[in-house]
Structure 1
Amino acid sequence: MRKAGLLALLGITSGLFFAVPASAEGVPECGNIRFEGLSGCEVRVTAECNASCTELGIYKTACATKLVPVCKTECTLSAMPTCTDKCTVQCKSDCDNGVNVICKHNCFTECTTTRDAGCSAKPDVAQCAATWDANCDAECDSQCVTVEGDCYQHCIECCDGSCTADANMSCQETCQNEVFEDCEHEFRANCEASCSGDGALFCNGEYIIAGSQIPNCIKALAARGLEVKAEASVTLGPDGIDGVANAGVCAYSPGSKGSLAAPLAVLAALAGG
């Protein structure tokens, strides 16, 4: 049995706050959520956490991301040649003009270009946008994972990922609509159950992840170079927890991308003891 939640050990009174750098792909340890464009991320506990968990509308990103691979078993269309041809012509023109096209950075942007227009008439615009983003992210991650070659090769893979997502967008929306509300209720229950322990992570007011998954998620984000700030009764530094009570703001900016992993591992071990 867990003796105390991770955040309880830290003595946090107002949550754990951090600035998230752009991430050009989903973060597996954080439910495969894509953090590019997200801000205002914080781990909330107790009353603030419970209040945040109430609204069903905050679970759209998490549900869409979770449901894309589920629905992908039936949404298996290949990219349309008309889409890939149009995309690669423009992309290769960019290469010729000196634009450095990188698949994992450009694919998602290309894929979501028409999202706002495509979702504007949908009954739930926010859900449509979440499904659109999650579908694009999944296909781009899959297509861009191991791209070797010059700018033109990146163009081909980028366009294949974007156009495959486009071909399956309608199928993903239909499939997800059937179970989306159930998913939201499931995440809300998990969110509420975690508030007295490790809490729940929110970005832009959207639920990201909760409970025992938080330590690994934070470590993964730290490895991507984020800055962590927490109001706590202990100091978090490169050597772990030093036990010095300062009742102030503890700030630790990692000098290297992986330098925060060790102290967070200590916290996770203590929380699970």
Structure 2
Amino acid sequence: MRKSGILGLLGLAIGLTTALPASAGVEECGNIRFQGLSNCEVRVTAQCTAGCSEFGIYKTACATKLTQVCGDQCTLSAMPTCTDNCTVQCKSDCDNGVNVICSHNCFEECTARRDTECAAKADPAQCAATWDANCDNECDAKCVTVDGGCYQHCVECCGGSCSADANMDCQYSCQDVEFEECEQEFRANCEASCTGDGALFCDGKYIIAGSQVPTCLKALAAQGIEVKAEGSVTIGPDGINGNLAAGICSYSPGDRAAVVGPFALFAAATAGWLARRRKRDSRAER
């Protein structure tokens, strides 16, 4: 029998209760962009299996993964007409006191036409996921190292948006070939993780599963995300019965006490149960 992971033992449910900063995806979470997502939870056992079987929940994860895969062939430069228009608009905006921050503005600008353009596609949801992932990738490349005032931020912001626009058709065509297989792979991984570390879902969408879940949660906690953690444990007649709850904890990079508490309690209780079991087994052998 496969040994259950710590999340499986605890039946841990984790909900992100604050919005993440407007920035690129979280590397430890498969580079998924969490901005705009909510109701995030780690599911295990039956709830996990039911979630894994939902139709269409893997599009965000697949689009994010395939954007990197297709990046080797989708390398068109931004159209001069796009960047030239940006230069003029940026000067006007900055001269008029508009506060442009590349990491905040690029993604919103890049996705402005998404819903209209994707409405005519055979699978609008897949198109939207690809659009978002492509914009996030190009904006991150331009915004991550930007240094300067309003004008520099605005120019780099436009550069990311224009690069994404130039490569959008290529990304969609390239990803479309691999998308169905990608969804099947993620579903298999999701289902296989339900008896172990479980799978992370946000708004019902699959994010990541298995051994990557704890690392992802640590990365989110390091960003100061409020995490709600609750767990119920039942081991056996002489084991742990009851509820281990962390309540609602505000995590910050320097504060580990909130997350350590319930796990330390679980470990101590488990150690006591194992010690009692060894003594009982020892007496039975005499």
* Mapping for residues 31-42 of structure 1, pairs under 5 Å: 31-42=30-41
- Could you tell me which of 250, 256, 260 is aligned with 1:254? 250
- 8 Å Cα contact 2:229/2:245 also seen in 1: yes
Please say which structure displays the higher CA radius of gyration: 2
- 8 Å Cα contact 1:18/1:228 also seen in 2: yes
What amino acid does structure 2 have at the position aligned with 1:98? G
Question: Aligned in 2, Cα 1:94/1:6: closer, same or farther, shift over 3 Å?
Answer: farther
* Mapping for residues 177-188 of structure 1, pairs under 5 Å: 177-188=176-187
C-alpha distance in 2 between matches for 1:51 and 1:11: 15
- 8 Å Cα contact 2:249/2:258 also seen in 1: no
Q: How far did 1:159 drift?
A: 0.7
Once the two structures are superposed, what CA deviation does each residue of 1:71-126 show, in whole Å capped at 9, x if it has no partner? 01000000001111222322332222222211111111111011111101000000
* Mapping for residues 67-86 of structure 1, pairs under 5 Å: 67-86=66-85
What amino acid does structure 1 have at the position aligned with 2:126? Q
Q: TM-score, normalised by structure 1?
A: 0.87
RMSD: 2.5
What amino acid does structure 2 have at the position aligned with 1:92? K
- Larger mean CA deviation between 128-137 and 99-108 belongs to 99-108
C-alpha distance in 1 between matches for 2:41 and 2:164: 31
Once the two structures are superposed, what CA deviation does each residue of 1:145-164 show, in whole Å capped at 9, x if it has no partner? 11111110111111111100
Give runs of ≥4 in structure 1 deviating > 6 Å.
none
Question: Aligned in 2, Cα 1:261/1:4: closer, same or farther, shift over 3 Å?
Answer: farther
Q: Which residue of 1 aligns with 2:214?
A: 215
C-alpha distance in 1 between matches for 2:166 and 2:11: 49
* Mapping for residues 128-143 of structure 1, pairs under 5 Å: 128-143=127-142
Question: Aligned in 2, Cα 1:71/1:162: closer, same or farther, shift over 3 Å?
Answer: same
Number of residue pairs aligned between Structure 1 and Structure 2: 258
- Could you tell me which of 17, 25, 36 is aligned with 1:19? 17
Question: Aligned in 2, Cα 1:107/1:203: closer, same or farther, shift over 3 Å?
Answer: same
C-alpha distance in 1 between matches for 2:195 and 2:6: 10
Q: Which residue of 2 aligns with 1:148?
A: 147
Structure 2 counterpart SS, 1:26? coil
Gaps of 5+ in 2: 234-239, 268-286
Q: TM-score, normalised by structure 2?
A: 0.83
C-alpha distance in 1 between matches for 2:35 and 2:253: 17
- 8 Å Cα contact 1:230/1:249 also seen in 2: yes
